[in-house]
Structure 1
């Protein structure tokens, strides 16, 4: 290029740079956003909008907020709040802290929202929004994704939602929606994901859903749906079907050949498992436990080419299993316990012949030595029909509550709010003491799973994905960048050192502060290590410290891995429980919010991914707090890396090898019990926790005992009822017998109920103070 051409190019570039931009957001659209911020009562996620004078679309995205504009209109709005789901108690006209105030109007809010006519993606998660979803939601005709999960919406799913013809993803999980699902959902001809988990929906499975040929995911678990399931073989694109914990009582439906995950447990499904299930060659995860299924399970389902998880437990399956039964190469977990199976255990299910598969077969009449089996007569007789958990009196209570709620809705909305929330939470608290205890022994480290199983593990974590919209993508870091970030790992950047390596604080070129954990792996397979790091990178949740990326330096047997995590600025939870820092000590309601956040994270690690992550190093030092005191769990999932090392070391001849190979998994519930205990009494001196429990736990039962051992801050800021609930669940978590400990779902619900009770007590106290002033 000549000099004159270069000058022309420079002038042209300069002239283009001074031309006014035409893509700035319309003033009217900006005004709508500011009105929405006001309606939502100024959530922290929208704090950057407050005094910003420029184009609001240019504000960088964060894990809690994403705003995307095209041209001069808003096309994407994602807000992730911190209002705890499923905790609500409306006492009269007052509302607790977890919801928007009594002045909030969902109708006015949605009316304002519909002025964003170009909106294609709308995520409003955990914002405390309450009320019925207005029919006018259909005015957002451009929507392709609608997610209103973890709020307090009640009433029916509006029929007008079927007019959103462009909708591809609909998620309304974790609300209080009731009534039957509307007809005409097949009008949503582009819908791929339908997720309405954890609501109060009743009635049948709508036939219209089985006509939406584009569906890939259907999740309707934890509702009150009942009746017969239609055949779903027409849904050729369906990959995930999750109907856990409903009241369906039909035979198993005909299913599409491309299904990958099938979750039908805790219903009342009857009949046999048809041979059609043996043709589902893409199936990886099958759970039909806690139903009324009969007959012999078809041998073909054990040998499906992709099956990795198979749970047939707690049914009435009978007869012998074929001696020549073949197990698929990817099968990592099988549970056939609590049925009426007889005969010998096939060789491919024998723990002696398989070191890659966990098999549970107790509670049958199998001819196996040294196991918990019934006498053969138990399996030959008809026996009493096994009832599904939650039936009987419990079911009657639930039906009465749903019916009562519907009646109150008809009379007056405020009555519904008061009755539904309180009755639901109290029912849930009582109900947890009758739930069956789920043994959580299907962990990664307990399975001895193969690399192929890890590589192909399917994650069913749509709710978690919703909660991490806007999170940075996991990436590979060059070692040179990490050296620059830490001044060549200078000692001044060292934050600590422990069993999981050295921890450094660094600053990336972008200005982002991170923590970098350095692990020296003496003997490992780089191939397997990469597979495990890929698995670890997919564990994303609002209450987990985000794994931003990693770096592997070296080759097999001499590798060093660096894990790059987000930096969480406000220290660990233990520091905020210590009297050494009185200005940081947390009051009871704040401690409950932190505990609930951590419990949600651990519950996700146990149940939100397949296979689950256990042995998560739960302790108060590993709970970090961000600038808003939002809890984030660190060091989770580390056992997936250390397990690989220990298994390789176990092949040696030294005493360390033999010791490592016999190491037992830690119990997350038990360790969380100690976190609860420290929340009650303050930090426990290392090594004295067990002795403290044995000598002091009984003191919780009396007022004098509580005053002696419970943290004074807790005593001053808690209600007796809230404190009693947490003490009770703490005792259960640290029970010496693992089988007597609660599931993490039980723990989470009890903590939520304790927070609800505390919120009501705080509201009453404020009301009394106002009336006296």
Structure 2
């Protein structure tokens, strides 16, 4: 990759269980330490996650004894993750599709600021004259875009679908897939959508949130997740629209006045006026600098390994579109 002169050994800073660490320089002169994953290391990803003081989002939702997150915290975490994905999709000359968005790949720092991590399955998105990238299906069950699964055609909207699953997971604090539950509840996306369409998400949300969520904020959050989980990619919003909607849901949570509640009832569009979008040059703070050197099993006939360096090169050498 460019910033490390293709991992020049003269720039090697050290070697650890995760892999080798190289000195790199971004286009603006910023010095960075770049960790290159070792595909033979079993501890690599786990070690990387320890750099983020509060670990993966999932561990704060269920399966541990960690304190429950407040609704405001959950919204701020979702906003941070959405900002990172929006940067991936729009912050470079060619978009980058993460392809493995899930709660274990959203990491929290010491201030509970969310970072999108693990780009081992990421691919460069379609060029301007393309509508999609044809590629073998990869990702995590429960988060996979059904359209991508059926047609093997990848777009940025595949990440949007996966993020919709994350939103429901954050609200309901249960896994994306839970095979021990009754059949109609196994898949969180399908199960939560039936309640969302009835306007009754409050019936299935985390019991720790009951009575502690502004109804208008929950309504906007549910509408946003529903749009993300649309059957067809063209019907889903961009990550920019998702980000705006989540920021609006946070504003509603922070403002309990009757005027704010009435405004929420009247506003049902994707584009929310009056909410400034963070400039793209700030979005890279929501993306953790990490290369997965091949820790994922399986092969892909379109050359997955060959694209990883190109994808990561775009992350550290963004040229806005």
Closer, same or farther: CA 551–477 of 1 in aligned 2, 3 Å: farther
2:240 is matched with which residue?
745
Question: More relative contact order in 1 or in 2 (CA 8 Å, sep 6+)?
Answer: 2
Closer, same or farther: CA 695–616 of 1 in aligned 2, 3 Å: closer
From the CA coordinates, give the structure whose radius of gyration is larger. 1
| Shift of residue 634, structure 1, vs aligned partner | 0.4
| Shift of residue 686, structure 1, vs aligned partner | 3.2
| Shift of residue 580, structure 1, vs aligned partner | 3.3
Closer, same or farther: CA 613–759 of 1 in aligned 2, 3 Å: same
- Partner secondary structure for residue 609 of structure 1: coil
Q: How many residues align?
A: 217
Query: Counting strand residues as a fraction of each chain, which structure ranks higher?
Result: 1
State the distance in 2 between where 1:538 and 1:585 align.
Answer: 38
2:84 is matched with which residue?
601
Q: Which of the numbers 115, 123, 126 marks the counterpart of 1:632?
A: 115
Closer, same or farther: CA 708–619 of 1 in aligned 2, 3 Å: same
State the distance in 2 between where 1:552 and 1:602 align.
Answer: 22
| Shift of residue 663, structure 1, vs aligned partner | 4.8
| Shift of residue 682, structure 1, vs aligned partner | 0.8
Matched ranges for 1:658-669 at <5 A: 663-665=152-154, 667-669=158-160
Give yes or no for contact 1:615–1:665 (8 Å, CA) kept in 2: no
Asked whether 1:612 is paired with 2:95, we answer yes
State the distance in 1 between where 2:211 and 2:229 align.
Answer: 25
Q: Which of the numbers 180, 183, 193 marks the counterpart of 1:697?
A: 193
Give yes or no for contact 1:572–1:622 (8 Å, CA) kept in 2: yes
2:170 is matched with which residue?
679
State the distance in 2 between where 1:517 and 1:577 align.
Answer: 32
Matched ranges for 1:18-417 at <5 A: none
State the distance in 2 between where 1:717 and 1:539 align.
Answer: 46
| Shift of residue 637, structure 1, vs aligned partner | 6.8
Query: Counting helix residues as a fraction of each chain, which structure ranks higher?
Result: 2
1:601-631 Cα distance to aligned partner (Å, 9 max, x none): 1111111111111134210000111111111
Q: Which of the numbers 728, 748, 756 marks the counterpart of 2:223?
A: 728
1:651-672 Cα distance to aligned partner (Å, 9 max, x none): xxxxxxxxxxx95436010000
* Stretches of structure 2 lacking an aligned partner (at least 5 in a row): 39-43, 125-133, 137-150, 180-184, 260-321
Give yes or no for contact 1:680–1:711 (8 Å, CA) kept in 2: yes
1:657 is matched with which residue?
none
State the distance in 2 between where 1:671 and 1:517 align.
Answer: 31
State the distance in 1 between where 2:37 and 2:221 align.
Answer: 43
1:469 is matched with which residue?
none
Give yes or no for contact 2:176–2:189 (8 Å, CA) kept in 1: no
Asked whether 1:712 is paired with 2:207, we answer yes
State the distance in 1 between where 2:111 and 2:8 align.
Answer: 29
State the distance in 1 between where 2:163 and 2:32 align.
Answer: 22
1:150 is matched with which residue?
none
| Shift of residue 550, structure 1, vs aligned partner | 4.4
1:405-449 Cα distance to aligned partner (Å, 9 max, x none): xxxxxxxxxxxxxxxxxxxxxxxxxxxxxxxxxxxxxxxxxxxxx
2:282 is matched with which residue?
none
Give yes or no for contact 1:477–1:549 (8 Å, CA) kept in 2: no
Q: Which of the numbers 555, 571, 579 marks the counterpart of 2:55?
A: 571
RMSD of Structure 2 on Structure 1 (CA):
4.4
- Partner secondary structure for residue 568 of structure 1: coil
Give yes or no for contact 1:588–1:713 (8 Å, CA) kept in 2: no
| Shift of residue 732, structure 1, vs aligned partner | 0.8
Q: What TM-score does the superposition give when structure 2 sets the normalisation length?
A: 0.55
| Shift of residue 517, structure 1, vs aligned partner | 8.8
State the distance in 2 between where 1:612 and 1:723 align.
Answer: 31
Give yes or no for contact 1:733–1:741 (8 Å, CA) kept in 2: yes
Q: Which of the numbers 548, 569, 572 marks the counterpart of 2:33?
A: 548
* Stretches of structure 1 lacking an aligned partner (at least 5 in a row): 1-453, 456-472, 487-503, 505-515, 519-533, 541-545, 554-561, 642-646, 650-661, 765-773
2:145 is matched with which residue?
none
Give yes or no for contact 2:172–2:205 (8 Å, CA) kept in 1: yes
Q: What TM-score does the superposition give when structure 1 sets the normalisation length?
A: 0.25
State the distance in 1 between where 2:110 and 2:190 align.
Answer: 37
